[in-house]
Amino acid sequence: MNDEPTDLLAKGDPRLLLLPLARAAVPGCTAVHNARRLTGGANQETWALDAETEAGAVPLILRRARGGTLQRSTGIGLDAEALVIRTAYGNGVPAPEVLHVLSAGDGLGKGFVMRRMAGETIPRKILQGDAFSAIRPRLAGDCGKALAAIHAVPTDGLDRLERFTPLSRVEWLHAHYRATEQVSPVFAYAFAWLRAHAPDAPEKPALVHGDFRNGNLMIAPDGISAVLDWENAHLGDPAEDLGWFCVPSWRFGNLDKPAGGFGTREDLLAGYGAAGGCIPSPDRLRFWEAYGSLYWGVVCARSVDEFRGGADPSVERAMIARRASETELDLLRLIAPRR
Amino acid sequence: MHDRPDPCEILTAAAAFLRRELIPALPPELSFKTRILANALDLVARQTAADGAAADGTHARLAGLLGREGSEEELAADLARRIEEGAIALTDPALIDHLWTTTLAKLAVDQPNYASYRAETGAAGLQE
């Protein structure tokens, strides 16, 4: 991080430092209030702030690289993320409205400012909260509809996103796995299985969100207010998003409800198809669900290196590393069931 | 030979202190992190107990599958390599049996409350 001379936000008064940004995002902004760093974003810093105007406060979110310029190797970078969110928003996807992309003149590194949406992202609250009991029965269908909208976004202006076939996606993940130095015969089994079962690439690659799951969805009592965290967006097989959404790790204990822990696969696919999505075959879905468990397993395994290497020596990081075995069990259940 | 109580008993007492006395007195973010710490102590206690029990057979199964000797770590790496190279069929019943047995033993230490593990073992488990 030596390439960043000073991280102003770490040291100065955020209300003053964020004022020029807030003015760029919200014309007529007179002051910044309630600036605070939110927890929860592991890869990037997220700040909440309110831009005061004569017409009232405008709630904002600032996403920026942690410490200004540090960006994770797997993410697409904040500039590309802002572009993808803008494109998705402009094409009717429930996504936050990007109001300002940081430039060098802002002096705060890379990032962007977007409108802060009302709602809840914490899975347990969405799964159990009374405020969401009315929306829960149709939430899986609404997720299908949101995914269909994402996959229908024209990809013309998105050339800078990486493009994958199902097989090249597996090899991309394999490179990350090899970099972890972790040894897992179950992961090896899963890679061999995925290579043997990779479906054909779709004729035209679609915009794939890459992390559409319970936890990255802003849910209001009346429906999905925004799909968040676009840093894994790429071009590829849209069925990847459907499979990832159903991975057991994101069911939060409700194994019989593959769609985010709140709905069935059938509800999800019905909503997806009704909104114009092309419903993939069960084999293709199973491939991407297996890929999803393996992907999460590799992320967990990579935590060992972050923990031991000092990048994140927290107890939480150590415990995430020990969750790789959860994905090993889910992989066996899916692709190597006991007789 | 050390005096009693054994490490598991001490870790269990430490985790109980965190949950019953410390966590209720902490602000939300510290309370969240301390719950993770209590879970970590539980994990170490489970692993300590498992390591103290008789060998779980993983090493012997690996040697049998591969037809050679070596440390458990070496053999696991060799198995992973052979699986990826296709030298062992994905349908091999002995392979599948080994992967299941090894994985269930890992889960018993790592996350015995994980829903998929409870579904496989029929354990009632605890609701968080």
pLDDT of residue A1: 37
DSSP codes of every residue in A32-46: EEEEEEES--SSEEE
**A140 and A28 inside one domain:** no
Overall number of domains in chain A: 2
Phi-psi region of A181 (alpha: psi -120 to 50; beta: other; left: phi over 0): left
CB atoms within 10 A of CB A280: 21
**Residue B33, C-beta contacts closer than 8 angstroms, at least 6 positions apart:** A314, A315, A316
Q: Classify residue A190: in a domain, yes or no.
A: yes
Q: Which two tokens stand for residue A306?
A: 């972050």
Q: Classify residue A171: in a domain, yes or no.
A: yes
pLDDT of residue B14: 98
Question: Domain ends where: A115, A146, A162?
Answer: A115
**A140 and A105 inside one domain:** no
Q: What is the dihedral of CA A201, A202, A206, A211, to 10 degrees?
A: -50
Question: Domain ends where: A88, A115, A142?
Answer: A115
**A295 and A218 inside one domain:** yes
**A213 and A308 inside one domain:** yes
- Phi (first) and psi of residue A80, to 5 degrees: -65, -35
With an 8 Å Cβ cutoff, are A336 and B96 in contact? yes
Q: Classify residue A126: in a domain, yes or no.
A: no
**A208 and A138 inside one domain:** yes
Residues of A in contact with B83 (CB under 8 A): 185, 188-189, 192
pLDDT of residue A4: 41
**A100 and A139 inside one domain:** no
pLDDT in tens, B88-120: 999 999 999 999 999 999 999 999 999 999 999
**A33 and A68 inside one domain:** yes
Which of B36, B80, B99 is closest, CB to CB, to A332?
B99
**A331 and A210 inside one domain:** yes
What confidence tier does A327 reach under pLDDT thresholds 50, 70, 90? very high
DSSP codes of every residue in A192-237: HHHHHHPPPPPSS-EEE-S--STTSEEEETTEEEEE---TT-EEE-
Q: Classify residue A1: in a domain, yes or no.
A: no
Instruction: Find how far residue B16's CA is from the centre of its chain.
Output: 20
pLDDT in tens, A35-86: 998 864 555 688 999 999 999 999 999 988 765 554 455 578 888 999 999 9
Question: Domain ends where: A64, A88, A115?
Answer: A115
Q: Which of A34-48, A79-93, A95-109, A191-205 is predicted least confidently?
A: A34-48
Q: Classify residue A123: in a domain, yes or no.
A: no
Min distance B91 CA to chain A CA atoms (Å): 8
pLDDT in tens, B47-85: 999 987 767 789 999 999 999 999 999 999 999 999 999
pLDDT of residue B128: 39
Q: Classify residue A127: in a domain, yes or no.
A: no
**A287 and A331 inside one domain:** yes
Q: Which two tokens stand for residue B106?
A: 């890992």
Task: State yes or no: pLDDT of A6 exceeds 50.
Answer: no
With an 8 Å Cβ cutoff, are A322 and B43 in contact? yes
CATH number for the domain including A30?
Answer: 3.30.200.20
Q: Classify residue A264: in a domain, yes or no.
A: yes
Domain that holds residue A30: 8-115
Which of B103, B119, B120 is closest, CB to CB, to A325?
B103
Q: Is A171 on the interface with B (CB under 8 A)?
A: no
Distance CA A188, CA A331 (A): 11
pLDDT of residue A43: 55
Q: Can you tell me the mean pLDDT for A116-120?
A: 93
**A148 and A73 inside one domain:** no
With an 8 Å Cβ cutoff, are A328 and B103 in contact? yes
For A49, the 3-state DSSP assignment is strand
Q: Classify residue A262: in a domain, yes or no.
A: yes
Q: Which two tokens stand for residue A236?
A: 């590829």
**A46 and A108 inside one domain:** yes
pLDDT of residue A50: 96
**A106 and A34 inside one domain:** yes
Min distance A83 CA to chain B CA atoms (Å): 33
pLDDT of residue A103: 86
Give me the residue label for tokens 């779980």.
B56
What's at A295, amino acid-wise? Answer: Y
pLDDT of residue A52: 95
> Which helix (H) or strand (E) covers residue A114, if one does?
strand A111-115
Task: State yes or no: pLDDT of A337 exceeds 60.
Answer: yes
What's at B40, amino acid-wise? Answer: A
